[in-house]
Amino acid sequence: MNIVLLGAPGAGKGTQAQRLVEEFGYAHISTGDLLRAAVAAQTPLGVEAKGYMDKGALVPDELVIGLVKERLAEPDAKEGFILDGFPRNLDQARALDAALPELGVKIDAALLVEVAPDVIVERLSSRRVCRTCGYTGTAADAVCPKDGGEMYQRDDDRPETIKNRLDVYRAETEPLLGYYADEDLLVTVDGDRPVDEVYAEVKERLGL
Ligand code: AP5
């Protein structure tokens, strides 16, 4: 199954994707993770992307679209993938639709994890990520529950950046909900419940 994962920053897209990957083995294609890896490796793309990410702005389409097309062409993506954080605007959605036939795949569902803005701010402020394995947890995790690694706070999880990311989401990404509804692919789940409950609904709604 090939899924586009939609939702505001901090809605729980990565958390639900982690579960789906563990249970079904889909390739997890997170543009945020790909970009953060490029920043850490100080590649030319990473150096250019960092300024946008630190402000909570979108990285230019031509950089991100190229990155996703390369990743989708890798063998594991043929067995099913989750696109997490891409597309992020209408131009990216159109570029994806144009690229899919060449790759011989199609999108089966656009899954929206819906959460109210006040919950988002609380979640992002307390999010911590494992420096070793990338596990996403909260400030309550002193060390990573998976491998004991150090938990750190993302640079873009500061309050002023969170606000900007939410503004960008409303202006640029929300129009995608109509785009995927028109394609009859939109599936919405209530993300403001415990992770296990959200995951159970995700599977039910996707027929998994
Ligand atoms: P990206 O990494 O994609 O960030 P995002 O979309 O803002 O999403 P997040 O990773 O912040 O949140 P999430 O929904 O995955 O939530 P999570 O599961 O972690 O993008 C970062 C930046 O990269 C962008 O700002 C942009 O600059 C750039 N970028 C990326 N893609 C791009 C693109 N396509 N085009 C251009 N630029 C791009 O959960 C959050 C917290 O909540 C965690 O602590 C988690 O433990 C907790 N939580 C999760 N679910 C629940 C629950 N049900 N109940 C309670 N707590 C929960």
Residue 12's pLDDT is: 96
CB atoms within 10 A of CB 140: 8
Give the closest residue to 27 by CA, choosing from 84, 65, 69: 84
The residue nearest atom 30 of ligand 1, judged by CA position, is 32
Tell me, using a 6 A CB cutoff, whether residue 9 lines ligand 1: yes
Specify the pTM. 0.94
Does residue 88 carry a catalytic annotation?
A: yes
The catalytically annotated residue of 69, 154, 158, 193 is: 154
Q: If you measure from the C-alpha of residue 208 to the centroid of ligand 1, how many angstroms do you get, rounded to a whole number?
A: 23
- In this structure, the residue with its CA closest to atom 7 of ligand 1 is 9
Nearest Cα neighbor of 85 from 202, 3, 155 is 3
Residue range 56-107, pLDDT digits in tens = 999 999 999 999 999 999 999 999 999 999 999 999 999 999 999 999 999 9
The string of pLDDT tens digits covering residues 156-186 is 998 889 999 999 999 999 999 999 999 999 9
In this structure, which CATH number among 3.40.109.10, 3.40.50.300, 3.30.70.890, 4.10.640.10 belongs to the domain 2-115+172-206?
A: 3.40.50.300
Ligand 1 proximity of 120 Cβ (cutoff 6 Å): no
Instruction: Identify which has the larger pLDDT, 19 or 158.
Output: 19
Question: What is the atom index within ligand 1 of the atom nearest the CA of 195?
Answer: 53
Cβ-contact 2, 105 below 8 angstroms: yes
User: What average pLDDT does this structure show over 31-43?
Assistant: 96
CB atoms within 10 A of CB 204: 10
Q: Where are the domains of the chain?
A: 2-115+172-206
Q: What is the mean pLDDT of residues 17-28?
A: 96
